[in-house]
């Protein structure tokens, strides 16, 4: 059964439960970098599907350049339409107040009844903010995390990150230098998977700037998302 709040995708019947990846983000807008990491992580970890989870609107503060939750959700729907292994959840868009990953993971664990292993996908730049999250130590015990390389961020920074087990420096150097592409670090019953993927330089902030300046963005995001941005005058 498809959990409530996700768009439809075929259920996969297997004897062993396959994992489901959760990719949270502002998706302001969703772009080829997000789609690349979703596809490549799905394939590397043999995940059944990836659930994109756009954040809701911040309740009290107006963030410059932040498209509405509805527009960001719509853009994700357009971006993933051709891939049946991708779904989008409105769990954070519907929830009032600030979206905390720990709350989202708890809710999704309830929806999935604990029957499917969940993997929280996150870019290395965002994971390095771990100490500023709500209940970060608890979040790490709820499901496995997949920390994905991103240009400009170094795995070696994990060596001094509080709340995670100490990782040998050489293992982190090997990831940064491409001598290894995956490192699994057990955290209790879960695992922190560091994944080095081919670099993709695309960033949402760059796309917003280019739209504002009337520059082309065609090779940075799916055509349907570009059309949506232009039709609805988002970021311009
Ligand atoms: P900005 O580029 O403005 O910083 P963003 O794309 O990083 O925006 P989000 O939409 O919140 O912001 O990103 C969702 C997740 O995708 C984050 O975990 C982020 O680290 C990761 N991510 C985004 N772009 C890339 C990329 N090019 N390579 C690897 N990871 C990425």
pLDDT in tens, 223-233: 999 999 999 99
Residue from 21, 25, 200 to probe ligand 1 pocket by mutation (most atoms less than 8 Å from CB): 25
The domains of the chain are located at: 20-202
124-143: average pLDDT: 96
pLDDT in tens, 188-223: 999 999 999 999 999 999 999 999 999 999 999 999
Residue nearest to atom 21 of ligand 1 (CA): 123
Is there an atom of ligand 1 within 6 Å of 204 CB? Answer: yes
Judged against a pLDDT cut of 80, whether residue 87 lies above it is answered with yes
Is there an atom of ligand 1 within 6 Å of 153 CB? Answer: no
CB proximity list for 140: less than 8 A, separation 6 or greater: 163, 164, 187, 188, 190, 192
Does residue 178 come out as left (phi exceeding 0), alpha (psi in the -120 to 50 range) or beta? left
Cβ contact 207:220 at 8 Å: yes
Question: Percentage of residues in the chain with pLDDT exceeding 90?
Answer: 84
pLDDT classification of 121: cutoffs 50, 70, 90 = very high
The CATH architecture of the domain made up of 20-202 is 3-Layer(aba) Sandwich (3.40)
With H, G, I as helix, E, B as strand and everything else as coil, classify residue 4. coil
| Owner of token pair 């796309």 | 207
Is there an atom of ligand 1 within 6 Å of 128 CB? Answer: no
pLDDT classification of 17: cutoffs 50, 70, 90 = low
Find the 14 Cα to ligand 1 centroid distance in Å. 32
β-bridge pairing 20-25 and 118-123? parallel
Is there an atom of ligand 1 within 6 Å of 40 CB? Answer: no
Judged against a pLDDT cut of 60, whether residue 7 lies above it is answered with no
């Amino acid at each position: 059964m498809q959990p409530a709040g996700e768009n439809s995708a075929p259920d996969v019947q297997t004897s062993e439960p396959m994992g489901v990846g959760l990719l949270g983000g502002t998706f302001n807008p969703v772009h080829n970098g997000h789609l690349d990491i979703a596809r490549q992580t799905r394939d590397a970890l043999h995940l059944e599907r990836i659930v994109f989870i756009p954040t809701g609107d911040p309740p009290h503060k107006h963030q410059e350049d932040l498209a509405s939750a509805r527009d960001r959700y719509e853009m994700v729907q357009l971006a993933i339409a051709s891939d049946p292994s991708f779904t989008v959840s409105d769990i954070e868009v519907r929830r009032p107040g600030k979206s905390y990953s720990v709350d989202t993971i708890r809710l999704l664990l309830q929806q999935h009844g604990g029957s499917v292993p969940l993997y929280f996908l996150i870019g290395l730049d965002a994971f390095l903010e771990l100490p500023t999250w709500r209940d970060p130590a608890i979040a790490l015990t709820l499901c496995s995390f997949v920390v994905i390389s991103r240009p400009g961020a170094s795995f070696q920074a994990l060596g001094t990150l509080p709340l995670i087990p100490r990782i040998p420096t050489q293992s982190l150097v090997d990831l940064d230098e491409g001598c290894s592409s995956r490192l699994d670090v057990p955290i209790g019953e879960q695992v922190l998977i560091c994944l080095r993927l081919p670099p993709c330089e695309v960033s949402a902030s760059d796309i917003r700037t280019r739209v504002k300046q009337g520059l082309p963005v065609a090779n940075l995001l799916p055509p349907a998302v570009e059309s949506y941005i232009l039709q609805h005058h988002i970021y311009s």
